[in-house]
C-alpha cells in the first residue's frame, strides 16, 4: 500500500527505532495506550506486547480492514480497538472520549503537519494523558525542549503542562517514503494542570504568552503593552525581577508563571 502524501503518511520501517519509541514511552501491562495513525501496524504490534490495551485511531479508511485482519486475534480479545476517524476532530469534540480510562498514554508516529494542534488539544483537555511519546520533525522536537536555550510559544505551551525530553534523532532513511527532513522521538512526562488554579487563569496565561511573542523584534515589555498598560508592565517587571531589555525568547517558564500570578 502506497503512502498518501495528503495525509502526511511516512511509515517507519526500522524495528529497532520502533522498540526505542516503546521503551521511551515506558509502557506497563496496566496501561491503556492511545496510538494516533497506526498506519501499517508496525508500532501497534510492538505496543501490544506491553500494554493492557491499545486504542488506535486511523484516518485512512483503506487501512482499517488491513489493521482488522492483521490484528484480528487482539481485536477479538479486546486488547486492541481500531477507531476510524480524524484524531483532531475526536479530541475537539467535547462529547467524545477516545479512551476507556482516565489514565492513558499517547504513543504515535504522527504526520508532521498536525504536531502543534495535536499537542495543544492533548495537553489542554480535561482528560489529559499521563505521558506523550511522539515521532515529530527533528527541528520541532528541538524547539519544544528549547535545545538552543531560546524559548518559543510552542516550547512554553508544552512545558507549562509537562516535562519534555528529546530522546533521539531518527534519520529520514528509516521511513518509507523517505521525508525530506530527519525526525526525532520526544517524550513528555508528568503532565498536569498544576500550574493553573482555574480555567480562566489557564486562558490568561496563553493570552499573555501570545502577546509576548507577537512581534519577534520587539522587547517583551513593548509586546505586553498591547494587552496591559505601560505602568502595569513596568510594575510586573520590577516585581518579577525581569530586565526591561528582555526579549520573550529569553524568559523561562518560571518567570512567565510569576507574571501570570502577579497580574
Distance CA 43, CA 11 (A): 10
Mean pLDDT for back-to-back runs of 10 residues, the chain (263 residues): 51 90 97 94 96 94 92 97 93 64 87 93 94 97 95 98 98 88 96 97 97 95 94 95 96 97 92
How many residues are given for the chain? 263
Question: pTM to 2 decimals?
Answer: 0.92
Closest to 48 (Cα-Cα) out of 1, 93, 83, 81: 81
- The answer to whether 137 and 165 have CB atoms below 8 angstroms apart is no
* Structural domains of the chain ordered from first start: 5-189 (3.40.50.150), 199-262 (1.10.8.100)
What's residue 177's pLDDT?
Answer: 80
- The answer to whether 180 and 219 have CB atoms below 8 angstroms apart is no
Instruction: Report the number of secondary-structure helices (H) and strands (E) in the chain.
Output: 12, 9
> Do the strands 11-12 and 163-170 form a parallel or antiparallel pair, or are they unpaired?
unpaired
Amino acid at each position: 500500500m502506497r503512502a498518501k502524501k495528503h495525509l502526511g503518511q511516512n511509515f517507519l520501517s526500522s524495528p529497532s527505532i520502533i522498540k526505542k519509541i516503546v521503551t521511551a514511552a515506558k509502557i506497563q501491562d496496566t496501561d491503556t495506550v492511545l496510538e494516533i495513525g497506526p498506519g501499517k501496524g508496525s508500532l501497534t504490534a510492538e505496543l501490544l506486547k506491553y500494554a493492557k490495551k491499545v486504542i488506535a485511531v486511523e484516518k485512512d479508511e483503506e487501512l482499517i480492514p488491513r489493521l482488522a485482519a492483521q490484528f484480528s486475534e487482539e481485536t477479538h480479545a479486546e486488547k486492541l480497538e481500531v477507531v476510524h476517524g480524524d484524531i483532531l476532530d475526536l479530541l475537539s469534540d467535547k462529547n467524545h472520549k477516545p479512551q476507556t480510562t482516565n489514565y492513558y498514554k499517547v504513543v504515535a508516529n504522527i504526520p508532521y503537519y498536525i504536531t502543534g494542534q495535536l499537542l495543544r488539544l492533548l495537553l489542554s483537555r480535561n482528560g489529559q494523558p499521563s505521558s506523550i511519546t511522539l515521532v515529530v520533525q527533528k527541528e520541532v522536537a528541538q524547539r519544544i525542549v528549547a535545545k538552543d536555550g531560546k524559548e518559543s510559544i510552542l516550547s512554553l505551551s508544552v512545558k507549562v503542562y509537562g516535562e519534555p525530553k528529546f530522546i533521539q534523532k531518527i534519520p529520514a532513511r528509516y521511513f518509507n517514503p523517505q521525508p525530506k527532513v530527519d525526525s526525532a522521538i520526544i517524550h513528555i512526562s508528568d503532565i498536569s494542570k498544576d500550574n493553573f488554579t482555574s480555567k480562566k487563569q489557564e486562558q490568561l496565561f496563553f493570552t499573555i504568552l501570545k502577546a509576548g511573542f507577537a512581534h519577534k523584534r520587539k522587547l517583551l515589555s513593548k509586546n505586553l503593552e498591547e494587552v496591559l498598560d505601560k505602568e502595569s508592565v513596568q510594575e510586573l517587571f520590577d516585581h518579577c525581577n525581569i530586565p526591561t531589555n528582555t526579549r520573550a525568547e529569553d524568559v523561562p517558564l518560571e518567570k512567565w508563571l510569576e507574571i501570570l500570578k502577579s497580574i
